Amino acid sequence: MIDLQQRSIEIIKGWQFDGAYAACLSFSQYGYSWLRDGAWIAHGMAAVGQTASARAFYQWGARTLWRYRAKVDSLLAKLARGEALLESDYLPTRFKLDGDINQDDWPNFQLDGYGAWLWGLVQFVQAHDDQALWAETRPAVRLTVEYLAALWQSPNYDSWEEHRDHVHPSTLAALYGGFRAVESQEAGIVPAGLADLIRDFVLTRAVAPAGHVMKYLGNEAVDANLLWLAVPYRLLELDDPRFQATLTKIERDIHRPGGGVYRYRKDTYYGGGEWLLLTLWLAWVYLERRQPERARPLFAWAEAQATPTGEMPEQVGDHVLDPSMVDYWINRWGTSASPLLWSHGMYLLLKSKLKD
């Protein structure tokens, strides 16, 4: 039997270059480093003792963001002058492995990954009391906070690179979590009251009449990324009725009984299969709720999706939501991504938590 923890570490290290993690080099579209994916891969690696790899990722992020400080300054100056922004004014959602920005039409204005990076970096600094890393990354943290503070209310692509024209509570949760983390590390970087403002915005604008938080303002469906509201970003506590209602709806609408978790009901990407990393996320929520008996079957399901050589895909297509869309994506981009480093990162994280 393959040791999936060891294999995951090996796969992740194999696709880490000078700190940057490639999302999935064998998939035509994913040969880049995303801050969102990377933060979770690093968090998982650190959880199983691979601290050098995780640290290198945070350093890569800081180096890369600092490289674009002039871009952020000119965006802020444009905003101060009241000028409209162009799509090319924003920081990208993903970088080439050497930190370059790719010139293509991939959806770019997306903020949640920046929040995830801040959150993950602070967790790492605090867990390892790594003040040297904080000193090194601090200028990039300040820059990132300035960028996010200026733009948090602007509609931008969600974590799945969809719905550019909407405001997504999961994205706001990531910014909230990132800001709170930075505040806990050092006062004075995040503008006073900003995190509370974001939270109030979500609670006054994004709670559906039925009591759950919605996928985006104006769409009362749920998305599995709403789990982030509580775990890990704590915009809502686990026992908050609004989170409980969201969780109940996620369980009912997008968890296949005995199987995995879908992104959202109307997903058509590769037909809309069950995502390993989201199934592991739901397991994490159950662990935080002290329900290990509910977490274990989800973990076992995710583990069972690994290929015989220990590769964990992005999603599995045995029970897709829209079978008519499977071929469309295969013809466009080839078979779906595997191994996906983010799936492996979440696997490592949950593996370490289930040991406790």
Q: Footprint of ligand BGC on this chain (CB under 6 A)?
A: 23, 30, 34, 36-37, 159-161, 340, 342
Min dist. Cβ of residue 284 to ligand BGC (A): 17
Closer residue to ligand BGC, CB minimum distance, 7 or 263: 263
Concerning whether 293 is annotated as a catalytic residue, the answer is: no
| Residue owning tokens 């979770």 | 40
Tell me how far apart the alpha carbons of residues 184 and 161 are, in angstroms, rounded to a whole number: 30
Closer residue to ligand BGC, CB minimum distance, 41 or 195: 41
Closer residue to ligand BGC, CB minimum distance, 161 or 322: 161
Q: What angle do CA 254, 255, 260 make, to 5 degrees?
A: 120
Tell me how far apart the alpha carbons of residues 94 and 109 are, in angstroms, rounded to a whole number: 10
Closer residue to ligand BGC, CB minimum distance, 125 or 174: 174
| Residue owning tokens 């739901």 | 282
Min dist. Cβ of residue 148 to ligand BGC (A): 18
Tell me how far apart the alpha carbons of residues 290 and 269 are, in angstroms, rounded to a whole number: 33
Q: Which listed residue (37, 112, 146, 158) is catalytic?
A: 158
Q: Which two tokens stand for residue 63?
A: 């180096």
Closer residue to ligand BGC, CB minimum distance, 144 or 338: 338
Closer residue to ligand BGC, CB minimum distance, 163 or 212: 163
Tell me how far apart the alpha carbons of residues 317 and 337 are, in angstroms, rounded to a whole number: 12
b/e string for 289-300 if b means 16 or more Cβ within 10 A?
beeeeebeebbe
Concerning whether 83 is annotated as a catalytic residue, the answer is: no
| Residue owning tokens 């999706």 | 305
Min dist. Cβ of residue 178 to ligand BGC (A): 16
Amino acid at 344: H
- Compute the radius of gyration of the chain from its Cα atoms: 19
Min dist. Cβ of residue 118 to ligand BGC (A): 17
Min dist. Cβ of residue 204 to ligand BGC (A): 27
Concerning whether 158 is annotated as a catalytic residue, the answer is: yes
Q: What is the DSSP letter of 223?
A: B
Tell me how far apart the alpha carbons of residues 356 and 354 are, in angstroms, rounded to a whole number: 6
CB atoms near residue 221 (< 10 Å)? 16
Tell me how far apart the alpha carbons of residues 129 and 11 are, in angstroms, rounded to a whole number: 28
Q: How far is CA 120 from the centre of its chain?
A: 10
Min dist. Cβ of residue 249 to ligand BGC (A): 21
Q: Which listed residue (130, 161, 162, 251) is catalytic?
A: 161
| Residue owning tokens 């991939």 | 106
Tell me how far apart the alpha carbons of residues 121 and 169 are, in angstroms, rounded to a whole number: 22
Q: Decide if 93 contacts 110 (C-beta within 8 A).
A: yes
Min dist. Cβ of residue 135 to ligand BGC (A): 29
Q: Decide if 280 contacts 313 (C-beta within 8 A).
A: no
Distances (CA, A) of 149 to 82, 111, 114, 176, 192: 16, 11, 11, 10, 11
Where in the sequence numbering do the catalytic residues fall?
Answer: 158, 161, 314
